[in-house]
Amino acid sequence: MQRLLARAVDKVRGSNAGSTFETEIELQFSGTLAFDYVPEPVVRLNLYSRLQRFETLAEIDAFAEELEDRFGKPPPETTMLIDLARLKLAAVNAGISKIGAGPVAIAIEFATPGSTSYGRLARRPDCVRRQGRLIFKIATQPGPQRLAAVQELVLDAGAL
């Protein structure tokens, strides 16, 4: 609640100090807190809400440990949800505004083209620049393989 209030105050004052952007990620798959893993709908909703508010990897890691302590070993779809949260945070830290991936390529857009992270990725031999986006000719299947390929790109940008 305090973060929302601080952002609202910064917006009214015209300050960008507390402003952040969200990275849009479209990988053609998602993670979830499965009904059979967290059976109570209200608890699941609260957990999703908490996960959306984390701003550090330490918070996400502690959350993952809490899930395992409370509900047992997470199923693959829950592990994927946690990994996607880590990816999103790393992408924000790298200045990436959008990631889109399909069967034949991965596209990345930066909030500030020309940034150091942008330059690192643009030098890759599999990179093509097109309309402000970096396109990587990397074929992947939805799921862990695609996530790993995108994580590698974000790592190359210097964020993970």
Q: What is the pLDDT of residues 119-152, one digit of tens each?
A: 999 999 999 999 889 999 999 999 999 999 999 9
Domain 22-156 CATH assignment equals 3.40.50.300: no
Tracing tokens 């910064």 back to the chain, one arrives at 10
> Could you state, in order of their start, the residue ranges of all structural domains in the chain?
22-156
Task: Give CA separation, 10 vs 20, 22, 31, 58, 59, in Å.
Answer: 11, 17, 33, 26, 24
> Angle 76-93/57-71 helices, nearest 10 degrees?
170
- How much is the pTM? 0.83
